[in-house]
Amino acid sequence: MDKKAILIFGVGQLQQSLIERCKQKGLFTVGIDPNPDAECRNDVDAFEVVAGDDYTTTIIIARKYNISGVITAATDKPLVMMARVAELFNLPYISVETAQISTDKLMMKQKFIEAGLPCAKGFVINNAGELTDLNISFPVIIKPRDNSGSRGVIYCESHEDAICAVKEALQFTKKGNVLVEEFIEGREYSVEGIHYNGEHHVIQFTEKTTTNFPYNVEIAHIQPADISIQQQNEIKILIAQIAETLGFENCASHTEIKINSRGIFIIETSPRLGGDFISSTLVPLSTGFNMEEALINISTKSNELSNELQICFHKFSGVVFFQLPEGFIKRIGQIEEIKKVKGFHKCNFDLVEGQRIPKIKNSIDRYGYSIFQTDEVDALFMSITLCKEIIEREVLIEQYGR
């Protein structure tokens, strides 16, 4: 095989843009996924069905295609396996220890506390019964130690709320226990970074909008975030400290933070590209810099990545995920009107007439989105507002009990 082969972990919609970028770079794409019906299985050059914990078969496939790099996007699940493969084949990637810490929110928190980094206090419980013996100040956040996409993450204002939340969160973890974490007030942001050659580069700041509690699911992202230059500089220092503490090298990073009157607090981080189109689409639209391409170059030891990661331009970009009342879709009208809104980039609506509108409890429950790019922030907010109005007007819902 003349082309370099790259092993892509995950062949779903979250990895679609990355797969396309790898092919554009002239790489032979080998995709592995535990799901034989993975959405993008026909988009890769070679597709193999492999269980997420099957190290032996993963190694056989890596040798079969003589891979030159490992890569993924928007998921934490394969990070430890990727690190083990990279270690065996001497490929650029984070260490196995870094992957293990980064996929366990308790271990991550312990590392932050040891390093004196600002984060939410928290502890682990095995079942709801243990809440009775603990002196807890509410509100708190209950979350799995080992999942992403807001799965099982629940805000609790009382002991009764926490009992129900623990039972629900335990359904989204393989650990057998869950985190109880103090609730940090403030606006929520994410920080997109690249870590290479011992240097830590912040590429963009993203401002988040979430659903109402108790399920804190992300329903919009705006770039760049409205953060002061001083706060940006403080965050850049914090990201470097996080990277040094956890050992981020030869990777991207997606770090969630909150800012309030007391300062900047780490919620969690991961040595990967952000999901929700943040890294794949919003960053290129707002900066002209392609994080996927940079990560591909790092992963395959390409000489194309400069030590100076240059931002090409400064624009505004955003994604809004559609949100409708619970019920059933009675009629879908002219939602194509969204494409006429200023700055429109792309959109998708996954539901059809007669289908049930679910309550959005995690990112999987969302059912459509629209993405925009504008030169001015006011124009971006206006476009997002118009998009919401079109969806509310053109999708007729028959609500429960009516």
The verdict on 47 and 13 lying in the same domain is yes
Is the predicted pLDDT of residue 207 greater than 90, yes or no?
yes
Which of 273, 280, 292, 289 has its CA nearest to residue 346?
280
Per-residue confidence (pLDDT) for residue 253, from 0 to 100: 98
Instruction: Give the mean pLDDT of 294-314.
Output: 83
pLDDT tens for residues 16-67? Answer: 999 999 999 999 999 999 999 999 999 999 999 999 999 999 999 999 999 9
Q: Are 244 and 286 found together in one domain? A: yes
Same domain, 307 and 191: yes
Give the count of domains, the chain: 4
- Which residues sit opposite 189 in a β-bridge? 207, 257
Q: Which of 277, 296, 314 is the last residue of a domain?
A: 314
- pLDDT confidence band for 1 (50 / 70 / 90): low
* CATH code (residue 300): 3.30.470.20
Mean pLDDT of 237-264: 98
Residues 10 and 69 in one domain: yes
Domain for residue 111, yes or no? no
CATH number of the domain that residue 177 is part of: 3.30.1490.20
**Which residue type occupies 327?**
G
Length of the chain in terms of residues written = 402
Any domain includes 13: yes
What tens digit of pLDDT does each residue of 167-204 get? 999 999 999 999 999 999 999 999 999 999 999 999 99
Q: Residue 153: give the domain boundaries.
A: 121-182
What is the pLDDT, as a whole number, of residue 402?
Answer: 53
Separation in Å, CA 166 to CA 140, 195, 237: 11, 35, 35
pLDDT digits (tens, 9 = 90+) for 116-134: 999 998 989 999 999 987 7
Average pLDDT over residues 253-259: 98
167 & 235 share domain: no
Last residue of a domain, one of 266, 298, 314: 314
Averaged pLDDT, 309-331: 94
Residues 203 and 157 in one domain: no
- With 0-12 CB in 10 A as exposed, 13-18 as middle and 19+ as buried, what is 321? buried
pLDDT of residue 401: 61
pLDDT at 230: 98
Residues 261 and 335 in one domain: no
Q: Is the pLDDT of residue 306 over 60?
A: no
Q: What is the mean pLDDT of residues 348-368?
A: 94
Mean pLDDT (the chain) is 95
Supply the CATH number for residue 41's domain: 3.40.50.20
Query: From CA 340, how far away is CA 247, in angstroms rounded?
Result: 45
How many angstroms separate the first and last alpha carbons of the chain? 62
Q: Does some domain include residue 291?
A: yes
